[in-house]
Each structure stands twice: as structure tokens, then as C-alpha cells.
Structure 1
Amino acid sequence: MAPPRILLCGDVLGRLNLLFKRVSTVNKSNGPFDALLCVGQFFSDSPDRLEEISDYIDGPSSIPLPTYFIGDYGIGAFKILSVASKDPSNLGFKTDGLKICHNLFWLKGSGKFPLLGLSIAYLSGRHSSDDQPIGVYCEDDIDALRALAEEPGIVDLFLTNEWPSEILNRADTSDAPPGVSNPSGSDPVISQLAAEIKPRYHIAGTKGVFYAREPYSNDGAVHVTRFLGLAPVGNKDKQKFIHAISPTPASTMPAAELCMKPPNTTLSPYTVSEKTDNNTGATKRISNSTSDEQYWRFDVSKRQRKGNGDGERLCFKFTSTGSCSREEKCNFRHDIDAREQYLKGGCFDFINKGKCERGSACSFQHGEEGDGLSQKRTRSKIGGDTSATDGSQRKHCWFCLSSPNVESHLILSIGENCYCALAKGPLVEDHVLIVPVDHCPNTLSLAPEAETELHRYKSALKTYFKNQGKAVVYYEWLFKHGLSMHANLQAIPVPISRASDVRSHFILAAKKSGFEFEVVHPSRRSSESRNLLRSKFDEKSSFFYAELPEGTILSYSVEDKEKFPVQFGREVLASLLNVPDRADWRNCKLSKEDETQMAEHFKKRFEEFDPTR
């Protein structure tokens, strides 16, 4: 098959008539082209073009070919994109674009998707400290791209609005147009992501100029990267704002062709390299990064710092992934306890420095407590963070009902010792958590009266789901001594027709992950099974168990330094229910209005089964 033909465009700035007139002309004379990818600000920078945008979204104007954009900011952006976000066809996890109208798609947040055989990665929005719902990227978006960078396969195109801040280093800039070296419109975070993703093409806008950099080689990869900066549509200097490429997808290229390096290939602008002093002959370490003081925050595996691994700073690579390619040579700390705290939703900045610049705007956990219904990495949180108290800067637990920021709209039923709440970012409808009222680390440590009420809730939910033709799976994480989390028991319904498949899915997933469950058979009474689980949990290691519809309990004790999938239970059930894109709760977030409506609907249906009534 012939390689796809792609048009690339810089900042549109709401000038859709001019853009699509030019696209139609190019498509007629040099086409046909398959898609248009837009970077930089897509929406208008003045109110006088709002009607122009409306003509394409609501009526009579048409878009000549599939168009994807990431510059989700500018006048009119919030109104238009908010409507699109609530469209039922755009709900759920959609990395390939939310449909705005025919042939127009918004690449929201960050992600990777296939397009005409090409692998496309993108970071939507721009860098900003403002807490805005759209138009800026957040830590979640960065983390998602970092995870994608570790997946197998080569990214063909990487789309960002802003330029990487070090792109000119080691390149011959004699022919670069004015404005290229201006730091405005550049972002060091983009540099670090580009260094990790290693795309074949990196496309950016925002700077207001066209610039095609010499290709550069990538550390740890055989292929080169070509960077293209595009000018705005209709710019006064008549710089190039449309550029055509026809890349063969890396997945279909012969290895010899993929390895080819043009004669003008330079070293990567993001690499720390050695340079010999001509006067002394000594070897110096030089860095091209303009953000050395903050580089550790994003990826310390590719950067050197003075001192050794006993210093105060944590290795982000190890903390986030459980491994670091530099191993004992890494100059940052590899701390197991910090990793576990991070995996439970802890803010890396807070863990690492004891403070977070985002403050109350940060949606990660600040402090040691509170694994809530909506945490950013493993589970959901029921409340936000609160002010730090005493020298340790601890914050109120997200699950404790006394928290001033508790998201009470998610609570379904409150008993004397336990309560039920809807999970934030639910895997499926009626995804429920059973939570002790008192702060305790796990449900196996409950007092007898609380244990009794827990069983009443479990029994009520089982009957409730059975009435709907569903069974229920319970699972829980228990964390080792010293991590004072607030217990929560996940309750996820599955169709009765799939109930008999749950066990095989868990066991197969365990096998693929390199471990084996201990099985407690359903012939035992529930209380006896729980007592057996208590005997297996020694508080020296983390512990996972799942209670299956027929009563079988699967359990596993996680050894220190063992890489265990932190969302294991949810991932298994997402696979069973054929919704793999919902395995990460962040892909399933809803508005507060939708959450409230779901909770009220559940309470009405659950009322006759509620043990507190």
C-alpha cells in the first residue's frame, strides 16, 4: 500500500476559511491527502472569528478532509469543547479524537492512536500554572506519555503545541529564521518528553515561524527524528504554515531503511555529552538543558547530578516504574517506601521535596494518608486534600467523613461502622466501594461490630446485583505496616453469564504477571475464609485478595521490590468485561453533575436492599 499522505498545519487562530481554502487548493493540485494535523492555537485570538468557526460546526461550511487539532485554547474554545465533551458519542476513553463536527476531531489531553497505519502521539494544551479545565496540560497527561514511551513500537509523529526548549542545540542555526532562538513558545517539558518518546517526526507550532531542523539521532534508538515548527495560518511574513509529508509507517519499514541516517544528521539536542577542554585536556560534563534544576522531576535516568544515591532527591524513573536503567550508578535515591506511596496516589513533588508548587490545585495526594475514591494512580478518591497539619504536613484522609472536602455527593449509604460510595472514574455502572467509617488500614483489621456491618453491606449488594442479573466481585489491597491508608473494599458487578469466567481470568492474568494465587475454596464459611486471610497477612508485605462470585478467594502476598500491577484487580475485570480502555480510572472521569445523578439513581434502586433502612 502507498504511504499515507498527511498535511501539517501551524496555529490556525480561528482562520478556518483561509485554512480550508488553502487545503482544498493543495489537495486538488497535489493530492489527494488523507488527513490534516493542526498544532498550536486552533481557536481564535479575537471575537470577530467566532461566527466563522460556528459556520463549520453548525452549518453551511464543510471541512474538506479529516482534521485533528491539539491547540484547545483561544476565544470560543471553552464553550465549543465543553459541549463536545458532554456529547454521548464522545464519552469514555477516546484517544483518537472527540468529534466536534464532520471531519473535525479534538485530540484531548494526551495519548497515542493509530492513523492510516501511523502511530501518532500528542500532548494537547500548553504549559500553564493556571488551573483550567481545558487548554493546558497537567501531570496526568505527562505521566500518560511517559508510560506510552516505554511501550514497544516506534512513534511516527509526535504533536505538541509548544516547541522543545533545546531543539536548536547542536544544530546549524545560521539559516534559522528570526525568532527561532527566542525562548517564548518553548517548554522544557516538551524536550524531556521528546527525548523519551523518540518520534520520527516532531511537529510543533506557537513560535510564529517555520523551521525544519536538521534530523537528529536518538539515544537508544536506530532511527532519526525530524523536527518541524510551523508558522500561523495567514501570517504577515508569509512563512510556511502548511507542510506535506508522506511517511511510511515504522511498523512496515524494513530495518535497513529505518536505520538510515541522512548526511546532515546531528546528535540529539537533549543528550548530556562529554567535551574535552582544549587547554587542559580535561573532560567536562556539559548539558544542553535550560531546565537542569528541574530535570530530576521528570526523568533522572538521563541526567547526572553531583553526589551519590544517598542524597535527598528521589529517582523519578524508579519511583514511577519500579526500575532504573542506571541501577547502582544512579545519583538519585531508589526508595521502595516512596514508590509505594507514589503508587497509592502520592504527589511526587510532595514526596520528594515535602511541598508541591500546585498546592490545592494539585489532584495528587499530599501526605501519607488517604487512599481515596479518586486518587490519580491506583484508586479513586472521595475527597480532596486539605491543609497540612503539624511538622509532617499530613492532610486529612480522603475517606474519613470528617474531611472538610469530602465529596459527599458520591456517598450512597452510611451505617454505624461502614458506608458505601460510588467509585470516582467507575469501571462499570454501579461500581461501589465499602469503606469503614473509622480510619483503619484494611478491612481485615476491623472490630467485630464493623466486620458484621461489612458483611451486611456485602450481602445487600449481592442481592441487589442478583436482582439485576449480575454477580459481584470484591477485591482489596492491604498495604504493609507503616502505610496508614484508609481501607476500602471494591465491589464490581459482572453479568451472571460471565461469573464463571472470573476465576480463570484472574489466574491467567496472574500467570502472565509471573505469580500464582493461593486459593481459598468456597466450601469454607465466609468468616473462616476471612480469618484465614488474616493469618496470611503479616503486615510486612503488601497483600491483594479477590472474592469471586461463587465464594472462592484468591490471595497473594507481594514481596518487597516486586513489581506488581497496582491496578491488577481492575485490569483483570476490564479485560473480562471487554472494556480494556477503562482499566485506568482516569479514562472514566465524569463531571460532578453526572456523578451526582448516578449516585441518586443508585440510591433509589438500592433503597429496598439498603441494610441501614
Structure 2
Amino acid sequence: MSAAKIVAIGDVNGQLESLFQKLGTLHAKNAFSFALITGNLFSDPTSASSEETASIQRLIDGTISVPLTTYFALGSHPLPPTVIDKLDSSEGELCPNLFFLGKRTTTKTSDGIKLVALGGTHDPALDSLSKDSYAPTYSETDARSLRGANAADILVTTDWPIDIRKGSQAPYASDSSPTGHPSIADLAIALKPRYHFSPSNAFYEREPFAHPSSEANPDTFAITRFISLAPFANPDKQKWIYAFTLDPTAAAPITLPSSTTSSPLSSSRKRPLPEQQSYRFANPATSAGYRGGPKRRRAPPPSQSECFFCLSNPSIATHLITSIGSESYLTTAKGPLPPKDSTSLPFPGHMLIIPLAHSPTIPSLPSDTVAEMTRYRHAVHALLKSRAPRTAAVTFALDRAAGVHAHWQFIPIPADLVTKGLVSAAFKVEAENEGHGAVVAGPPGADAEGADVFRVWVWDPATGDEKEQHLVLDDRFRDLQFGRRVLAKLLGVEGRADWRACGQSVDEETADAEAFKEAFAEFDFTNEE
């Protein structure tokens, strides 16, 4: 794949016809792969003139032609109502060649360029994932959720990262630059984008800066170029357009380009960011759990914008989410296995513990991520011990290299099944009966090196002990619902082995999630941080 020629543009503020005419002229000479509008495409609808409103309709109707594939960001202004109506009915395509990036998204272009976008300005009153896809505000949780994208070729944010001008000699042609926000700095540290665009009232191009080398790649440098473009057709004639080429397959440099500085960004988090099976919210048939080297043809896995476990997916079922940490999050399961009245708790208690990072296996995640996931598991144990002392818990994971987005499933069970040794026996018997091999006590070791593995943790509330078992899988293993099916038999609810047989309405799902959050509040360590 050859390098893509890209053109980025600052705030347009409703000058639609002028912009696209100018862009058409430039595209005819340069043959850009796509254009990127990094700020407000439209003027503020609360103060828009009648001509600006009319031009929006002409754009939607196709009277104003968009000359090439163009992505536009959510800026600091609300989108006009006619634009929102059109986007809702057309899956993000406003008119031919014009696509909305969205508030909190990852996008892969046809050239293989990975775009990550966080639109709007920070609203300190928001304390969870934004549910309004068009409101020009974001929460720290929104920003944190995008770290799971792992990397970006281009990052687009409305807010600047805090301290981005620190250590820079590059001029900013305005009396004062935007203050910036720590959550954007954290996001840039996590994604290490090659280019980071964030609009403002003046042009600013910072010297390239190098992120600290990682343990995984100690001999290469991740370099970011931060660029802020002035508004289109601004009276001061400051630079509002920036053309560049980008090869998404290019290797990271092993030497620093001249004028490169050290990174001005520092993490605001209390723990360093890490680098992220798949019983999915929507369709477990597309799940998988991990292992290298394809032995058979299979459909490509969902991208992060399609993954039902990535918080950057605008279609994620946010009403199921109960807690979000720095590295992972906790959510109720869709189609829970235990019936609601199976414990003394006012909710089923079937939970998913999911890393923010999009990765097919748990072992491939940084230790900080696994540590936080374990902390979540132990916190739910504490909840059970306090509120349902006769309830034990089983956590299992199907770790496959061909997986999508690794996670753990946490299921409460009657404690007597653990004390009688029935849980461990159930997994051993089922594995042997199906010819999968022997379930071995303890964590995976040399026997599992390079292999796909099914792992189980069984917690006994009477002793507080948690014992692990594992099953090394061969290439013939296809039973992605193995763990759920074993527990369904053990609990005497085989009719619930398929999550689709346990469907709930959105209202019922929301009520269970809210009931869990209320009970979990005193055990949720994220409330302390």
C-alpha cells in the first residue's frame, strides 16, 4: 500500500461553498486520498445566518459538491438539527463523499490510515461515557475509553493536550494559546499518533516530539507532530490548510529527525498506561478467544470501531457498563446465565471484566492491565461475601490468538458446589468427554507455551481461596461457549446455555446494571481515585 496524500483543514464555520470549491481546485492538482476537517464544519446553529442555514440544505441535497472523500470532526459547536437528522438516517454519511467522524471513534480509511477522534470540549460535569453522540462535550471517561485503540496514525481532538507548548520554540500567532486538558495528553501518550490535529484561532506547528521508548521496541522512536490549523479564510491569512503524506505501513524510525524534542506530555494518571474472547454484547458467534499462525481461512476480525467491547464503538451498549477504571472496565453480561432469583442478590451477577485495550489475549496485555482486571474480580468477590455469603464465583477466559477482544466472564454460583468439588470436576469431565484433553490444576506453564488456553478461577467464600485450572487447546477446538455450557449443566439451567435464550429488554438490562452499581459502590476502587 503506497503512502496516502492527505489534506487537513481547520475550522470552516459554515463557509461550505467556498471551502469545497477551493478544495476541488487543489484536489484536481494533487489527487489527495482524503480530506480531514479538524474543527467546526458548520457555524454555531444558535447564531447561524439564513444563508448559512440554506447552504447546509444545499450540501445535504448534493447541490454543493464535495470533490473527494472528506471526514469532518465534531468541534466545539453543536451540529445543526438538519445535519443530525441526516446523519441518523444515513449511518454517518451526510452527503456523497462527506462523512462524520463522530464524538468518540476509531476509523480505518481505505488507505489503511487509522483515525482516532474525540470531539467536543471537556465538560467536568460529565462523569461517565457520553450517550449523546452529537453533543459537543466529552467526559474524562470518553477520553480514557479511546486509549483502547492502542495506536493511531492521526488523532483529532477539539481540545489541545495540556502542556503541548512546553519545551517548544515554535511561535503561536495569538496572544494566548488554548489551555489544553490532561485527559487529551493522556490519550496522546497512550496512542502515540504520528499526527495530532486540534484546531484553534491561530496556526501552530510544534516541533516533532519523541515518546519514551517502550520495552517492546527499545530501538525505535514513536514521533508525534502536533498541528493546530487556523480557521478557513481567516482575515489574518494564517495557515488553515496542511497537506502531507502518510504511509501507515512505514516502520518507526531508529534515529530522531532534526529538531525533534522530548515529549512535553506527562501522564495525569496515578498508574502508568499499559498498552487491550469474545462473548460479545451482540453476537457471540463472531467471538473468539487466542493463538498465532492461522491454520484455516476465516473472516477478518471486527475492527475496533465495530468491536462490541471497545468503548470507542459508538454502538456499544453503555447501559450495561457499571464501572470504568484506568485499564479495564466492568459490565453486566447480556443474556446472563444465572436466573435473577438464583442468589440473594437483586441482580443475576453475571459480569464481564474487559480490558480497555483491543487485544485478542490476556497474556498479551501489560501487567498493569491484568492487575486491574484482577482487582475488579476480587472486588466483586468482596461484594458477594458481604451481600450473599453463601455464593461462590467462577471466572473463566477463552484465550485464543484468533480472538477479537479478550475478557473474563464472572459468574456467581452456590457455594456448596465449590465445597463439594463439583465445579472443578465438571470442567474436567466435560473436557474429557469431548476429547479436549485434561484440565490441569494451576495456571498455564510450559505446557501452554504458544498455545490457546481455556482458564478457570474458582473462588470459595468460606476460605477466601481462589484456585485456578487450565486446559490447553488444540487446533480442533471450536466450542466458544464451553465455559458457559459447563456451568449451565452444573447449575441445572441447560436451557440458558445459549445467551440468546436469556434475552432481556433494555429496561430490564438497565435495572440490573443499576442495581449492581448500587450494591458495588462501596467495593468499587475507582470511586477512591
Q: TM range, normalised to the smaller chain?
A: 0.5 to 0.7
Alpha-carbon shift at residue 379 of structure 1 (Å): 2.5
2:47 equivalent to 1:50: no
| Equivalent position of 2:209 in the other structure | 216
TM-score by length of 1: 0.48
1:145 aligns with 2:146: yes
- Asked if 2 retains the 8 angstrom alpha-carbon contact of 1:441 and 1:486, the reply is no
The amino acid across from 2:345 in the alignment is C
Higher relative contact order (CA 8 A, sep 6+): 2
- Give the alignment of 1:78-477 within 5 angstroms: 78-81=81-84, 83-85=86-88, 87=89, 90=91, 98-115=92-109, 116-129=111-124, 133=132, 134-149=135-150, 154-173=151-170, 175-179=171-175, 181-184=176-179, 186-205=180-199, 207-220=200-213, 222-249=221-248, 252-254=249-251, 258-271=253-266, 296=268, 299-301=269-271, 373-376=320-323, 377-380=329-332, 434-436=339-341, 439-440=344-345
Q: Name 1:24's counterpart in structure 2.
A: 24
2:261 is paired with a residue of what secondary structure? coil
Distance in 1, matches of 2:407 and 2:125, equals 44
Q: Show structure 1 runs of 5+ residues with no match.
A: 91-97, 272-294, 303-316, 322-362, 365-371, 381-422, 445-476, 488-504, 518-526, 539-543, 565-570, 577-593, 600-613
Matched, 1:557 2:504: no
Counterpart-to-counterpart distance in 2, 1:555 and 1:75: 47
Q: For the Cα contact (< 8 Å) 2:398–2:455, is it kept in 1?
A: no
SS in 2 for 1:379: strand
Distance across 1 between alignment mates of 2:76 and 2:84: 9
Cα offset for 1:511? Answer: 11
User: By how many angstroms is 1:20 displaced?
Assistant: 0.8
**Alpha-carbon distance in structure 1 between the residues aligned to 2:407 and 2:233:** 59
Pick aligned residue for 1:64 from 56, 64, 67 = 67
**Distance of aligned partners of 1:511 and 1:259 in 2 relative to their CA distance in 1, 3 Å threshold:** closer
Measured after TM superposition, the shift of residue 10 of structure 1 is: 0.9
CA offset digits 1:22-43 (Å, max 9, x no partner) = 11121123x1111111112232
State the distance in 1 between where 2:183 and 2:262 align: 19
Distance in 2, matches of 1:146 and 1:561, equals 31
Letter in 2 for 1:6: I
Cα distance in 1 for residues equivalent to 2:23 and 2:232: 11
Letter in 2 for 1:435: K
The CA deviation at 1:232 is 1.0
Q: What TM-score does the superposition give when structure 2 sets the normalisation length?
A: 0.55
* Secondary structure of the structure 1 residue equivalent to 2:246: coil
Paired residues in the alignment total 353
Residues 173-192 of structure 1, C-alpha deviation per residue, up to 9 Å, x if partnerless?
4x33224x4345x2222122
RMSD: 5.0
Counterpart CA distance in 1 for 2:137 and 2:212 is 29
Question: d(CA) in 2 for partners of 1:561 and 1:169?
Answer: 48
Question: CA separation in 2, counterparts of 1:486 and 1:531?
Answer: 17
What is the identity percentage for the equivalent residue pairs of Structure 1 and Structure 2? 27
2:195–2:226 CA contact under 8 A, matched in 1? yes
Q: Any conservation in 2 of the 1:516–1:556 contact (CA below 8 Å)?
A: no
CA distance in 2, matches of 1:259, 1:209: 33
For residues 598 and 142 of structure 1, do their structure 2 counterparts lie closer, same or farther at Cα, with a shift above 3 Å needed?
Answer: closer
CA contact (8 A) 1:164 1:190 kept: yes
Q: Cα–Cα, structure 1 residues 51 and 535, in superposed 2: closer, same or farther, change >3 Å?
A: farther
Between the aligned partners of 2:160 and 2:35, the Cα distance in structure 1 is 19
The alpha-carbon deviation at position 7 of structure 1 amounts to: 0.7
Change (3 A) 1:16 1:506: same
Per the alignment, in what secondary structure is the counterpart of residue 189 of structure 2? helix
Q: Distance in 2 between matches of 1:562 and 1:515?
A: 19
- Displacement, 1:263? 1.7
C-alpha deviation, 1:156, in angstroms: 1.7
Q: How far apart in 1 are the matches of 2:93 and 2:468?
A: 38
Q: Distance in 2 between matches of 1:47 and 1:65?
A: 26
Alignment check: 8 A CA contact 2:205 2:227 kept: yes
Q: Structure 2: how far apart are the matches of 1:434 and 1:270?
A: 48
In the TM superposition, residue 119 of structure 1 has moved relative to its aligned partner by 2.3
Q: Distance in 2 between matches of 1:118 and 1:178?
A: 32
Higher radius of gyration, 1 or 2: 1
Once the 2 structures are TM-superposed, how far is the Cα of residue 507 of structure 1 from its aligned partner?
A: 5.7
Asked if structure 1 preserves the Cα contact closer than 8 Å seen for 2:114 and 2:152, the reply is: yes
* 1:274-294: CA deviation from partner (whole Å, max 9, x where unpaired): xxxxxxxxxxxxxxxxxxxxx
In 1, the alpha carbon distance for the partners of 2:466 and 2:234 equals 55
Structure-1 separation of matches of 2:99 and 2:260:
34
Are the aligned partners of 1:18 and 1:233 in contact in 2 as well (CA < 8 Å)? no
Structure 1 residue 223, shift from structure 2 partner? 2.9
Q: Deviations over 1:544-567 (max 9, x none)?
A: 99x99x999x99325789999xxx
Instruction: Report Cα offsets for 1:526-554 as digits up to 9, x if no partner.
Output: x9x9964564599xxxxx99x99x999x9
Distance 2:408 2:330 in 1: 22
